[in-house]
């Protein structure tokens, strides 16, 4: 029979797990080492509790103490876990080969992208050979309308479903420009018909993004494979990249 003591213990354990998740997500968003006191403040965790969590995670090598003044970051165990995950997912394992090949072939940044909830994320990123490289941070959530890939990743939905799925505020770009919803829906239909999408000057006015859909057996776009290039890239080069992306996406897709 459940007692108040058991319920309280279970609730406390769940709260502790939530705090570990919050700690990890904070470090991921920050993408840099942080002071334990700052993590506690930003995640709303009592400082004594955060120190206790950090000490436990340092012992497990999930975190690493970089100095004596309470600065921590991800530890080596996190790298091993991530490597195990990448090796265990067949699609991602195949995509790593494709992304590396595309980047080497064209000398430009190539990516493999997907949805996480109602946001877009870069799963794999292979920088190009340019001294000035264009790339996005792996794992950082970005509004769907801000991206070329986003116009493919929701193309299995109907118009009303798409507009219900994407938060209203996500149609506003960082510089304040507003993406017209009707134009966004038209872009989606055109991209699905063409088998690729090209956008220029969305988040970065100097960047063009080219993407092709990776589809499952039902024809749903589960991921995209992309090039991120300077906006002044010659049209002939862009056409070659689109051809390569389509070929790569076909190899990664499940036959329908």
- Is pTM beyond 0.75? Reply is no
Q: What are the pLDDT digits (tens) for 103-157?
A: 999 999 999 999 999 999 999 999 887 655 555 677 788 999 999 999 999 999 9
Q: Which of 18-32, 160-174, 201-215 is predicted with the least confidence, judged by mean pLDDT?
A: 18-32
- Domains of the chain (ranges, CATH numbers): 4-79 (1.10.10.10), 89-252 (3.30.450.40)
Pairing of strands 63-65, 34-35: unpaired
Comparing CA positions, the residue from 106, 70, 109, 53 lying closest to residue 225 is 109
**DSSP secondary structure of the chain:** ---HHHHHHHHHHHHHHHHHHHHHHHHHHHTS-EEHHHHHHHHT--HHHHHHHHHHHHHTTSEEE-STTSEEEE-HHHHHHHHHHHHH-HHHHHHHHHHHHHHHHHSSEEEEEEEETTEEEEEEEE--S-SS-----BT--EEGGGSSTHHHHTTTS-HHHHHHHS-GGGGB-TTS-B--HHHHHHHHHHHHHHT-EEEESSSSTTEEEEEEEEE-TTS-EEEEEEEEEETT--HHHHHHHHHHHHHHHHHHSPP-
Q: For the residues 73-93, what does the mean pLDDT come to?
A: 80
Average pLDDT, the chain: 87
């Amino acid at each position: 029979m459940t007692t108040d003591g058991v319920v309280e213990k279970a609730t406390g354990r769940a709260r502790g797990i939530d705090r570990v998740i919050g700690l990890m997500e904070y470090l991921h968003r920050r993408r840099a080492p942080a002071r334990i006191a700052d993590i506690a403040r930003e995640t709303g965790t009592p400082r004594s509790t955060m120190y206790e969590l950090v000490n436990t995670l340092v012992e497990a090598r999930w975190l690493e103490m970089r100095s004596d003044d309470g600065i921590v970051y991800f530890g080596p165990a996190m790298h091993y876990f991530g490597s195990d995950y990448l090796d265990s997912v067949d699609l991602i394992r195949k995509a790593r080969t494709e992304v590396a090949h595309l980047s080497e072939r064209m000398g430009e940044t190539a990516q493999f992208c997907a949805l996480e909830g109602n946001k877009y994320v870069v799963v794999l990123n292979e920088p190009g050979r340019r001294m000035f490289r264009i790339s996005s941070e792996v794992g950082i959530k970005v509004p769907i309308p801000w991206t070329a890939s986003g116009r493919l990743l929701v193309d299995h939905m109907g118009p009303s479903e798409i507009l219900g799925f994407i938060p209203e505020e996500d149609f506003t770009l960082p510089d304040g420009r507003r993406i017209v919803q009707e134009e966004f829906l038209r872009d989606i239909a055109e991209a699905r018909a063409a088998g690729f999408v090209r956008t220029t000057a969305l988040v970065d006015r100097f960047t063009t993004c080219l993407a092709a859909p990776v589809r499952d057996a039902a024809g749903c776009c589960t991921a995209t494979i992309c090039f991120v290039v300077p906006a002044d890239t010659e049209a002939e080069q862009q056409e070659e990249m689109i051809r390569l992306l389509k070929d790569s996406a076909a190899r990664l897709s499940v036959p329908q």
